Structure 1
Amino acid sequence: MATKAKPIAQVALGLEPGPFHERLVAHNRQQSWVNWMGYASPSVLDNVEFEYFAIRNQSTLFDISPMCKYAITGPDAETVVNRLVTRDIRKLKPGRVAYCIWCDEDGNVVDDGTVFRLSETEFRLCCQEPQLSWLEDIAWGFDVSISDVTRDIAGLALQGPTSCALLKDLGLAGIETLKTFGIAGFEIAGSVVTISRTGFTGDLGYELWIRPADALKVWDALMGAGKLRGLRVIGYEALEMARIEAGFLLPKVDFLSAQTVLRADRANTPYELGLEWLVALDKPHFNGRRALVDLSKQTPRRKLVAIEIERDKPAHNALVYHRKNREVGMVTSALWSPTCKRNIAYAWLDAPYGQSVTDDLWVEIYLQKEIRWQRRMVRCKLVDKPFFAHPRRTATPPADH
């Protein structure tokens, strides 16, 4: 009997197929894949420009199933989550989501992610890096259950200005009343779906959480309803463009986790990352609080800042100089923004640059033209993030567009 051929992504990379893999293979004309936590995730399916502009003008689907997901349940669940993260989770009501970070005992950031409060005693933590051992250490001695539910929950990010209209076309009554960072339950194609108004694009959008057994049914229903709404499946590269515009930081790109760095001075505090607004020093004890109290009184040794660069060449992996001759930092993420029509980037600057010294900053960009490399020194300036902030992201109810 003939055996069924494995999808190309599995053969090429030796990666695990996710719950939507069968559909992704059919859409991935480029057969371009990346490794996301052991899963085959599409990098570019067709054309990165088309995929990017679909985020900003239509609606898009991106498979977020590989994201690490942890269930935290029990009478002491709130206490455990509040001991982990730097925000005051006691203020988070059931049916709401919060963006959070957590730190080691030295006040360095371990990871960032989203905390879903499903009920008084049920939480879900979604993040980029494995955190089970960290959670189990925090939960020791408390009446709480911690479990890795990554493979028990499939996820889809439905993002873009027509995303709400698409869900209404599917008959999801009341979806237009769901506020930003809200959670609600719905039914799609006979399957129970939890929908949160969250995302990584800075645009109007939702994340759908589904049983893996129902994944393909829900996918097909969305694709069917999306024909009149310009729905397009996208890959990582288009999402990367949108997240830079939206002001979101990415682990392993903009910062390193304190639990994975090889050199102690490579870890970063919330104050260096510009995330001090996520630190609630007035709440009960949490991991790293003592160190963060001291750090809050000090000038950060370096700062991750948003910059705008003259001209139109992205400053990938560029160095930053003061007065063109003193090296003071480096660029982590860079992009010529098609929507903002600006040359934007995030850069680490050593103190006092980016803090008390903000003028006469330059970026060193290398361009290859007809095989030859050219060096270009271009002026840059500090700006506020996010670069892209459209009112439709938080509008309730959203327009149909």
Structure 2
Amino acid sequence: MKNNSRTNIVLLALTYWLYFGQLGVLVPYLGIFLDGRGFSSADIGKLFAIITLARIIGPSLWASIADKTGQALLVLRLGCFLTVVSFATVFLFDGFWGLTLSFGLMMMFWTAVLPQLEVITMQSVTKTAVSYGQVRLWGSIGFIVLTVGVGKALDSYSTDTPVYVSMGILTALFVSSLLIVHPGATKPATDQSDNFGQLARHKTFLIFLLSASLLQFSFGAYYGFFALYMRDLHYSGQQTGLLIALGVLAEIGIFLLARRLIARCGVWWLLFVCMTLTACRWAILAGWAEYGIAVIVSQLIHALSFGLTHATSVHFIYHFFPAQFHSRAQALYISIAFGLGGASGNYIAGQLWHQGTNAIQTFMVAAISALAGALVLFLINRKKMDLSFTQ
């Protein structure tokens, strides 16, 4: 039984490696791919915003099915399969709306994967010596490997390289999903929708979502234009890949420490500190990105901007909601924060960027948004947020 559990955890780690490895290909380099197709910065921002909107609708739809049927693993597998099929249509289109449709459909189905993977992983590591962070860090490793690899490949091959690599990664992700075993059946939710609604409308959770959304809004400039920004400042593709990888490498140490940090510092304090330092990160990119050491410092802060905030948020949601609502709760977090917040950030960044001439202003807007995310946390009673999962 222990061997089976260990094998399943290894498979979950592999799935994280592939899932976030794909993010390491698509997120930093989609802008490069679209720029190679002749898209303007405004078009790139619009496309990012439109496909990110799929993260508003998709997660809640899939999670509702998962919670009501108790079949989180089946939903994960179906999402992986449909992601592969929809992404394959990228090779059929060249224009704005055709590619938007392809990436939008891909994102719609891809949103089925992460909430279920988070829930299955949390259930798998419960009552084991393995922590969520120890499994999740393999996603960061996958991100690093593929970000560096594709960044180097872009120095030698065409700007279409990211989509070819993505096709292979997504296919492997589907295969890995077929090998995962659910640690134990979750009872389907029946007539408790009102209870979920009450928790979802709780002041603590609503302000948490607002804060998380402001943080993800701030990432619009980074996700959409960091690689282009580095290229404009005469960094090579390999250097850009290494810089992105450095940020994710810093996540690994944080994921190993996350459980102890949450226990010692609490949810509220960690989120506040991480978001405040994220504001500093974007300000550094706005003012000193031509200096390599400044970019290195900003990338090291990524450990907090994404790694620790995400681990803390997953922990908070997992304990705030009962087990039968976990999929929907994780999905709501992804829909609102990453979907609505991320889409808005992508759109505004695209409108501000102007082929890089307003790069400083764009990153300063990002810094203000991250700082606002930290400040709204003062609307929550700190002790109540840290102890809410025990109520």
Band of TM-score, shorter chain: under 0.3
Q: Which has the higher strand share?
A: 1
Q: Which of structures 1 and 2 has the larger relative contact order (alpha carbons within 8 angstroms, sep 6+)?
A: 2
Instruction: Calculate the TM-score normalised by the size of structure 2.
Output: 0.27
Larger Rg: 1
Q: Which has the higher helix share?
A: 2
Instruction: Calculate the TM-score normalised by the size of structure 1.
Output: 0.26
